[in-house]
Structure 1
Amino acid sequence: MSSLLNSNFLRTNPVVLALRRKGVSIRHVAVATGLALSLCVLYYNYLPRREVVLFPEEVIYYPPETQETWSARAEQVKAAFLHAYHGYEKYAMPADELRPLSKTKAADKFNGWGVTAVDSLDTMLLMGLNEEFERALPIVQNSNYSLPTNTRVPFFETVIRYMGGMLSAYAMSKEEILRTRAGDLGTILTPAFDSASGFPTFGVDTVKGNSDGMKIGILAEIASYQMEYAYLGKITGKKSHVDHARKATELLQAANLTVSAGAYPVRWDLTTGQPTDYHVAPGGAADSAHEYTLKQFLLTGKTDKANLEMYLRATMYIMGELMFISPKRHLLYATDVYQYENEARYSHTFEHLSCFLPGLFALGVHTLPLDDLASLGVDIHELAKDLLPRHQKMYDYITKHYTLGELHLWAAQGMAQTCWLTYADQPTGLGPDSVTMRAGGIYDEVPWLDALDAWRKAGRKGSPPGVGGKTPWTQWNLTYASAKDRDRIFAERDYGLKNAAYYLRPEAVESFYLLWRTTGDVRWRHHGWDMFQAIEKITKVEAGYACVHNVHLEDYKLHDEMPSFFLAETLKYLYLLFHEEDLVPLEQWVFNTEAHPLPVFEWEQREKEAYGIN
């Protein structure tokens, strides 16, 4: 320092000479500079301060695992299936479902035809459980679809569980009894289509042969049977089955969606075939209807342009109207809305049932040329004209700055991460059935596309909003003793529990599986493994697996129920997620909404002529 102070440069520099005339020495400048540097170091490293971070993300390490590790985990899932199914066989078969705590059969709410066995057939085949499969076939063969007690057979549940289960197992095994009985069931359910509009009614009286139920239908129930009836028509050659499948598409296409701004509402008049309310939802009461538009297109060899267009329009609406970012943790979620012409009222409820959406988006990215839809004869901007004016402008704008493929993939990744966090945030490691997302204060209702625009204008730093890595929230207050505690947790975690029960549902792991298979990102396998470990630890009992009343408490309570979809869907998707071999290639098979894979097919020219297919 002394040599620097005594240098000719400092003696002759005019700035230095001016400072000296004012009584400021070089030592004063050096001390001031050093003090300023010290304060900067202190400020940026030690002092608390308020930072403006647009979309923070965390780097999360997922350890590499060998193929042998994942294969061993798949075997553990197989063992879990056997534990559940053998408990059902021992204590409940041939009833519909097992009550695992009391080791008794549940009341037959799904017709009493052994729904757990039929729903599990293709899971057994995928797992190589041939002995269990052979023992289950007599239930299929001996079921009497016209018992006097079967006077209110629920059409939707019967199609997706029974018919879907038999059709999928037939496609894998070619057991003729499965095709025969699926055909019998498809025929005996046809009175459901006797409504004035052609949409199916809630149920069928299989003794009297007439339809049963209210004249108002729920979207998921009236628009989720095309896949099963189309494939049934393909393998039986019956035009009536194909006609029923095509009727759903025709009715949805012809609907007047003005009051709901181009989206498909939840409630429909079965007499007129038109929607009756303004409620639009991505999850419960609507989920599988959105799902079947894309899947019917894929199942029939990507030739059904009408269903493709309905899928694109539905996802446009969901991304533009129903997807939001929470204020603190920036969790991406989809919610429902009461959509009026000039007003939208959101519930900000995020359901476990909506966790199928990430998988659907990922499947679309994987199977569709989203960035070259013109090759399929689709104009995305033309489709947007059916939506609200703001959606038309939105699509003109965002397609200048993003590709449709990247938007759909970001939506899948962000929502799937939120689904995982609702599990990982709980002391049980299990996800609640529904949560209420925080959307208040200055962050009131931040739409995802608005957040994306802010991110773009800020230079696209980091991951897109909602997509970057996030760690679980672990500051559990297990007593929830006061309203103040609940408010604090709501503010810190960005959501409160609306229904804290876990019903052994499959939607989250379904999306993890599809994201793993379509992106190769190993984190989804790790999330699935965490989920399976929680299932084993919390829900496993001597006779099977039980639902959980309160996932947010260490002192949780179990519920005496084991739904058939736990074996048909949850354990199947976990097994496929961990299995090294791709047992169900997505280019060759399409899962129905109950996770029953059906083989992709194309209509032959003679079939097109016979069935009137363009």
Structure 2
Amino acid sequence: PSNDLNFGEESFDISESTGLAVAGSLILEWTRLSDMVHKIDYANLTQHAEEYLLHPTYQNATIQPLSGLRGTSIDLRTGDFLDVSGSWGGGDDSFYEYLIKMFVYDPANFTTYKDLWLEAVQSSASNDIFSHPYSRPDLTFLASWDGQDVILVSGHLACFAGGNWILGGLVLGNQTLIDLGQNLADSCATTYNATLTGIGPEAWEWEDENFFENDDEEVDMFIEDNGFNITDASYNLRPEVLESLYYAYRATGDTRYQDLSWKAFRAINATCRTGSGFSSVSNVNAPHGGSFNNFQESYMFAETFKYAYLIQAEDAKVHVAKKGEEQTWVFNTEGHPFKVRAQQ
């Protein structure tokens, strides 16, 4: 798909490339749309586009990412990947997210998606992408990659992966996947505990062999205590940490996750609330979050506050099902519940 639509002129901007998440995040919605209107065209369009992602070709065929992983930029004319760099974070995230969620939506017809998701997870978990900071080996963050090379940077957007891996573990009855997802969820929650406001930053970096040596002794102490260095201290009202805490709670029933979520929600309310709503802030490690950016994201209501509510809410069928139970709903990437195909 092309990225930009102009609804006023009923046209679209013809760009040369698109992104992995852009191309890979329509399939659940458009498949559900086809089911609702009994017209297969919408599902066919997105599943056709998905084939280029499931069976990738690269403009430079001599260099490719690790098994199961993908680049980020795709040529709209050929479907070839233009690069070999990627992550579980922004620009790529919901492609991987939807592989397992399509299997939840319809296990009979999307087994191939589940298999690729498993390949991506296993590849990440068995390589240096699943990385532990030198000064905090108890933590785990998902690094980025450039071909076969691992880059020790991550961010808030990648924190959805903890919940996504837990979901896969619940659906497949695989406790190892649940444990890996919990580790990621716990580690992302630690980024909240580390800051002055109690909110996690947008992006961070770390070392897996020795901690950074900076001219700033205070920064060195922060890294040694917390395992990471903040590279972007803003908070854009993002939901991913609360989302993964919700999945962790559904998988374990451990009230510790409810407490972590409530603590994070209170911090967001105290730091981001304005007279007319909620604003993103410039620095989570500064008093009062630094300054307001005067921008409120719609996903704050659709996801951030929804997951903060759901983790405290009474049990109901719309929830992520617990281990051994049948999933009757699946949440799309913006937190909207879709009834799985077998329940329609």
Answer yes or no: same fold by TM over 0.5: yes
Equivalent residue letter for 1:325: H
Aligned twin of 2:323 = none
Deviation at 1:305, TM superposition (A): 1.4
1:362 and 1:302 map into 2 onto residues whose CA distance is: 21
Aligned twin of 1:593 = 333
The SS at the match of 2:229 is strand
1:382-401 counterparts in 2 under 5 A? none
1:252-263 counterparts in 2 under 5 A? 252-256=53-57, 259-262=64-67, 263=69
Deviation at 1:410, TM superposition (A): 2.2
Aligned twin of 2:96 = 290
1:513 and 1:253 map into 2 onto residues whose CA distance is: 29
2:55 and 2:200 map into 1 onto residues whose CA distance is: 38
Instruction: State the 4+ residue runs in structure 1 displaced beyond 3 angstroms.
Output: 205-211
Percent of pairs with identical residues: 26
Paired residue for 1:323, among 130, 138, 148?
Answer: 130
Segment of structure 1 superposing worse, 314-323 or 282-291: 314-323
Give the conservation status (yes or no) of the 8 Å contact 2:136–2:224: no
Bigger radius of gyration: 1
2:8 and 2:267 map into 1 onto residues whose CA distance is: 44
Aligned twin of 1:214 = 15
Deviation at 1:584, TM superposition (A): 1.4
For residues 513 and 267 of structure 1, do their structure 2 counterparts lie closer, same or farther at Cα, with a shift above 3 Å needed?
A: same
Give the conservation status (yes or no) of the 8 Å contact 2:57–2:79: no
Equivalent residue letter for 1:285: G
Deviation at 1:568, TM superposition (A): 0.7
The SS at the match of 2:15 is coil
The SS at the match of 2:201 is coil
1:498 and 1:274 map into 2 onto residues whose CA distance is: 32
1:310 and 1:208 map into 2 onto residues whose CA distance is: 39
1:559 and 2:293 aligned: yes
Q: How does the TM-score come out when normalised to structure 2?
A: 0.89
Aligned twin of 1:439 = 208
Q: How does the TM-score come out when normalised to structure 1?
A: 0.51
5+ residue gaps in structure 1?
1-199, 370-404, 445-480, 605-614
Aligned twin of 1:333 = 141
1:319 and 1:437 map into 2 onto residues whose CA distance is: 17
1:565-580 counterparts in 2 under 5 A? 565-580=299-314
Give the conservation status (yes or no) of the 8 Å contact 1:356–1:511: yes
For residues 534 and 335 of structure 1, do their structure 2 counterparts lie closer, same or farther at Cα, with a shift above 3 Å needed?
A: same
Give the conservation status (yes or no) of the 8 Å contact 1:506–1:569: yes
Give the conservation status (yes or no) of the 8 Å contact 1:249–1:306: no
Aligned twin of 1:237 = 38
Give the conservation status (yes or no) of the 8 Å contact 2:178–2:251: no
Aligned twin of 2:316 = 582
Equivalent residue letter for 2:15: M
1:526 and 2:221 aligned: no
5+ residue gaps in structure 2?
321-326
1:423 and 2:212 aligned: no
Give the conservation status (yes or no) of the 8 Å contact 2:193–2:199: yes
Give the conservation status (yes or no) of the 8 Å contact 2:280–2:293: yes
Size of the aligned set, in residue pairs, is 329
Aligned twin of 1:175 = none
1:75-154 counterparts in 2 under 5 A? none
For residues 573 and 211 of structure 1, do their structure 2 counterparts lie closer, same or farther at Cα, with a shift above 3 Å needed?
A: same
Equivalent residue letter for 2:136: R
Higher RCO, Cα 8 Å, sep 6+: 1
Give the conservation status (yes or no) of the 8 Å contact 1:509–1:528: yes
For residues 534 and 222 of structure 1, do their structure 2 counterparts lie closer, same or farther at Cα, with a shift above 3 Å needed?
A: same
Report the RMSD for the aligned CA atoms in angstroms: 2.2
Paired residue for 2:4, among 203, 209, 226?
Answer: 203
1:346-361 counterparts in 2 under 5 A? 346-361=150-165
Deviation at 1:215, TM superposition (A): 1.3
Deviation at 1:426, TM superposition (A): 1.0
Aligned twin of 2:166 = 362
Deviations 1:27-86 (A, max 9, x none): xxxxxxxxxxxxxxxxxxxxxxxxxxxxxxxxxxxxxxxxxxxxxxxxxxxxxxxxxxxx
Give the conservation status (yes or no) of the 8 Å contact 2:166–2:179: no
